[in-house]
Amino acid sequence: MAIRGKQVLLGVCGSIAAYKSAHLTRLLVKAGAEVQVVMTPDATNFIAPLTLATLSGKPVLVDYFDPASGEWNNHVHLALAADAVVVAPASANTLAKFAQGLCDNLLCAIYLSAKSPVFVAPAMDLDMWQHGATQANMARLKSFGNHIIPPNDGPLASGLSGTGRLAEPEQIVGALVVHFSDPKPLAGKRALVTAGPTHEAIDPVRYISNHSSGKMGYAIATELASLGADVVLVSGPTNLPVPDGTKIVPVTTAAEMLNACLTEFDKADITVMSAAVADFTSKSVADRKIKKGNEEHQFAIELVKTTDILAVLGERKSKRQILIGFALETDDGLASAKEKLRRKNLDFIVLNSMQDEGAGFAGDSNKITIIDRNHVAEEFDLKPKSEVAADICTRIISLISR
């Protein structure tokens, strides 16, 4: 395993999710890492240092100075000895201190002294996570080159439900494994990902579109980049930040998305067409705002079909290229998805559920079925979109290495 023998400094902050750091420590040790746990003083209210000391096989450090032994915990040495600093859970308070360079405890001093990659896995209540201050702090940490392991969506300790749950210990170990894998499984591969809706103008102020948020495509682009691929993300209009390590090509209409894909496709080894491209566009676009008038009670827009981008790419595809499509169905999903897979010459198709609660366009989770060229279908549980993206990429890696 890629993290065997690595020195991992695990920072644990004051958050209810600190209970998961016991499992995380166990998994890291099992994977062969040497784990040094450093807790903030608040974290010790949530989980006993003895638990983490026993699981890591090393004394847990909290303060600079141990009055009992007279020992000084040198933050610079601790930081420099680490191959990776992993802060999980990272509380809103500690993230804010990291972002500002504050240094009022041992963990903060280690963070400032670290030369190794730093991974932060935030955990907090959804409103704290969404607050502009937290988001600005996260953007600052990203700009420092820190790796963010985003929180999951689901029930929170407050009783509310939303984004803020600490990533599962398995995901955190997975992020480290990917980071230390050399070469990364998709190193040297080029990927083209499309995401989001398209906007088809009717007049200068109105357009036809759909409810796609782009979250699924962005999660796939993020995952492919973290696996080492060179990613071009052709994105319709969304409110999402550009994923780390990807080149973004913003487009608005289906026609623009087609052009961008045609420019990028021949260079791509992997293409994932997750955009919700409009199937129809207005035959003509009024150059002035259409007035509602006084008399008419009906108004019709003449629509024409857009080009099916995926079908065009399927025709152009060479043997070395992997092409993946999505299908969003309300009825008879499996049969339609299989038909699209064949008609568009895909390597596999991802069938999205519209029926399951929590799955679909706007949310942070999704429930998918992957259908391959032999029509073998694998159904996955409802999961956060980041984990769905990981499942899709696992399948891509297995096709690449066949």
Residues labelled catalytic:
210
The answer to whether residue 326 forms part of the interface with ligand CTP (CB under 6 A) is yes
Cα distance between residue 143 and residue 3, in whole Å: 25
Instruction: Give the per-residue SS3 of 184-240.
Output: CCCCCCEEEEEECECCEEEECCEEECCCCCCHHHHHHHHHHHHCCCEEEEEECCCCC
DSSP string, 258-293: HHHHHHHHTT-SEEEE--B--SEEESS--SSPPP--
In angstroms, how far is CA 260 from the centroid of its own chain? 23
Burial of 84 (0-12, 13-18, 19+ CB in 10 A): buried
Q: Which of 325, 333, 360, 384 binds ligand CTP (CB under 6 A)?
A: 325
Specify the residue, 37 or 327, whose C-beta has the smaller distance to ligand CTP: 327
Residue 253 makes contact with ligand CTP by CB under 6 A: no
Contact between 14 and ligand CTP per CB under 6 A:
no
Question: How many residues interact with ligand CTP (rule CB under 6 A)?
Answer: 14
CA-to-CA dists, residue 167 to 59, 144, 164, 237, angstroms: 25, 21, 9, 28
Query: Which of 85-93, 96-104, 270-278, 378-386 is the region at the interface with ligand CTP (rule: CB under 6 A)?
Result: 270-278
**Residue choice 8, 33, 106, 310 for contact with ligand CTP (CB under 6 A):** 310
Which one, 106 or 216, has the nearer CB to ligand CTP?
A: 216
- Exposure string of 151-174, with b = 16+ CB inside 10 Å and e = fewer, is bbbbebeeeeebbbbbbbbebbbb
Grouping H, G, I as helix, E, B as strand and the rest as coil, residue 351 is strand
Q: Residue type at 374?
A: N
Stretch touching ligand CTP by CB under 6 A, among 48-56, 218-226, 323-331, 355-363: 323-331
Evaluate whether 386 touches 172 at the Cβ level (below 8 Å).
no
Which of 1, 201, 328, 334 binds ligand CTP (CB under 6 A)? It is 328
Residue 275 CB, shortest distance to ligand CTP, in Å, is: 5
What is the rounded radius of gyration, in angstroms, for the C-alpha atoms of the chain?
24
Residue from 225, 254, 388, 390 touching ligand CTP (CB under 6 A): that is 254
Q: Tell me 61's DSSP state.
A: B
User: 35, 202, 232, 275: which one contacts ligand CTP (CB under 6 A)?
Assistant: 275
Using CA atoms, how far apart are residues 87 and 12, in angstroms rounded to an integer? 6
Q: Does 341 bind ligand CTP (CB under 6 A)?
A: no
279 binds ligand CTP (CB under 6 A): yes
Which residues between 289 and 308 bind ligand CTP (CB under 6 A)? 306, 308
The closest of 77, 94, 96 to 9, measured between CA atoms, is 77
Q: What φ, ψ does residue 30 adopt, rounded to 5°?
A: -60, -35
If one asks whether residue 256 binds ligand CTP (CB under 6 A), the answer comes out as no
Nearer to ligand CTP, 134 or 194 (CB): 194
Least distance to ligand CTP, CB of residue 319, Å: 21
| Paired residues of 200 in beta bridges | 208
Which listed residue (199, 317, 340, 367) binds ligand CTP by CB under 6 A?
A: 340
Please report whether residue 219 would count as binding ligand CTP according to CB under 6 A.
Answer: no
Between 53 and 312, name the residue whose CB sits nearer to ligand CTP: 312
By C-beta, is 111 or 326 nearer to ligand CTP? 326
264 binds ligand CTP (CB under 6 A): no
- What's the CA gap between 199 and 206, in Å, rounded? 9
Q: In terms of CB distance, is 302 or 331 closer to ligand CTP?
A: 331
Per-position x/- string for 150-169, each x denoting binding to ligand CTP as judged by CB under 6 A, each - no binding = --------------------
Residue 180 vs 380, nearer CB to ligand CTP: 380
Q: Per CB under 6 A, does 277 bind ligand CTP?
A: yes
Binding site for ligand CTP (CB under 6 A): 254, 273, 275, 277, 279, 306, 308-310, 325-328, 340
